Structure 1
Amino acid sequence: MKCVFNKTALLFVLTLVGASTAASGHARVYYSVRGLLAEQFRESDRVDYKRVELSDEQRRRIQTRLGAKLKKDTYTFYVAHSADNIDGYALFDREIGQHEYIDFATFFDSEGRVTRVEVVAYREPYGAGIRSERFRRQFVGKEPTNDLKPGYDIDVISGATLSTRAMAKAVKRASVLLHHLLLTSS
């Protein structure tokens, strides 16, 4: 009996190890933060960062606007400058896909309109179609007042429904955070 239990336990452990190895085998990192910032803001003199810790009031207002809870207390925005002008902003964030996190970068102009969205890292075996230029272009020009509902405002990619939702949530959250934390006075 003891021998059967050990074989069963061993089989169980090997299955878990194999499953986790297979899942992590799909991880693709497409950009580094530094590289993507340099590419996006190549005309800027410098890129600084601004780390913002949410107050209880900010958290409440933002969560009300999003209709969802925020999972973090602190967000780091990157601010590109040329002379005394702001060229744009960036926020790197993540959202859960089907099982794994997808890392996103959302870029904004100085007024807070989305100029570019990139998938920085993708860990799922399916759904990477959200990386296509055609799909990501749907977000350009969006602001916090725009709805980003997949299937209505944003086209859904067949086989990537959850990834589509994840990107829409990440872009909406980035837009609302930027406007509430940096662009409007509290």
Structure 2
Amino acid sequence: MRVLLAPTAAALALAPAGAFAVEYMSAEQAAKLMFPEAERFEPRALTLDAAQMQQLAARGVAARSAQWSVQAALRGTQVLGYVVADAVIGKFELIGYAVGLTAEGAVKQVEILSYRESHGHEVRLPAWRKQFVGKTGAAPLRVGEDIANISGATLSCTHVTDGVRRIVVVVEMGKKGGVL
């Protein structure tokens, strides 16, 4: 019996820590939280052309995709703002998040939708997420410049910040292009 226990114990010791996946809210719930005054959310497809993709790269933003699904928050015919849900890699797993932007394109709110890592969940802290409020495409939106790092959550902080920056710039381009 000891022969069987030793390999089992060794295998358990080498196995990765248990799953820590937590789904906090859906993208739809986040949209309603960010824009409670909205009567409805209208999907708007945003497709970046080759020139826009190059503009993103020139601004130091990794494009990742030419296709974006943006939810316009509406009250009557008035656009209150936009919500974009996305996911970035943490250290090993995906972090789902949503960014709410004002009609002018400034960050209104950032919500973490899901978190699957065993460490770094502090990116969910309201104080950390609040740093993004009011930021536009003109802001650096970089950890260590205008966004503080959280010790032990460096990769999560960096990747969420990069993702928020990407969304802010993509929405800015969509607005300039007349799509949003």
Report the counterpart of residue 171 of structure 2 in structure 1.
178
In structure 2, the partner of 1:40 is 34
Instruction: Judging by fraction of residues, say which structure has more helix.
Output: 1
1:97 matches 2:104: no
Tell me by how many angstroms 1:152 deviates.
2.2
Aligned mate of 2:80, from 72, 84, 87: 87
Shift of 1:39: 2.3
1:31 aligns with 2:30: no
Number of the residue aligned with 1:132 = 125
| Structure 2 unpaired stretches of 5+ | 1-7
Q: Which residue of 1 aligns with 2:4?
A: none
In structure 2, relative to structure 1, the CA distance for the partners of 1:62 and 1:68 (3 Å cut) is closer
Equivalent residues of 2:61, 2:166 under 8 A apart: no
Match of 2:55 among 55, 61, 65: 61
**Per-residue deviation at 1:117?**
0.4
What is the alpha-carbon distance in structure 1 between the residues aligned to residue 43 and residue 156 of structure 2? Answer: 28
Counterpart residue type for residue 59 of structure 1: M
CA distance in 2, matches of 1:72, 1:27: 25
Give every structure 1 segment of 4 or more consecutive aligned residues whose post-TM-superposition deviation is greater than 4 Å: none
Residue 61 of structure 1: how far off its partner (Å): 1.2
Q: What TM-score, normalized to structure 1?
A: 0.83
- 1:147-173 CA deviation, whole Å, 9 max, x = no partner? 022122111111111111011101100
With over 3 angstroms needed to count, the CA separation of the structure-2 counterparts of 1:68 and 1:175, relative to structure 1, is closer
Per the TM alignment, residue 57 of structure 1 is displaced from its structure 2 partner at its CA by 1.5
Q: CA deviation at 1:44?
A: 1.3
CA distance in 2, matches of 1:69, 1:140: 22
Q: 1:73 aligns with which of 58, 66, 70?
A: 66
CA contact (8 A) 2:97 2:114 kept: yes
For structure 1, list consecutive stretches of 5 or more residues without a partner in the other structure.
Answer: 1-10
Q: How many equivalent pairs are there?
A: 170
2:142 to 136, 145, 149: 149
Distance 1:107 1:145 in 2: 17
Residue equivalent to 1:165: 158
* Residue type of the alignment partner of 1:34: E
The SS at the match of 1:145 is coil
Matched letter for residue 58 of structure 2: T
| Rounded Cα–Cα distance in structure 2 between residues aligned with 1:77 and 1:55 | 16
TM-score by length of 2: 0.86
Match of 2:131, SS state, is: helix
Q: Distance in 2 between matches of 1:68 and 1:147?
A: 11
Q: How big is each residue's C-alpha offset from its partner over 1:43-85, in whole Å with a ceiling of 9 and x where there is no partner?
A: 11211011122211121112222x1432223110010111221
What RMSD in Å do the two structures reach over aligned CA positions? 2.1
User: 2:31·2:100 contact (CA, 8 Å) conserved in 1?
Assistant: no
Distance, in Å, in 1 between the alignment partners of 2:168 and 2:103 is 12
Partner AA of 1:78 in structure 2: Q
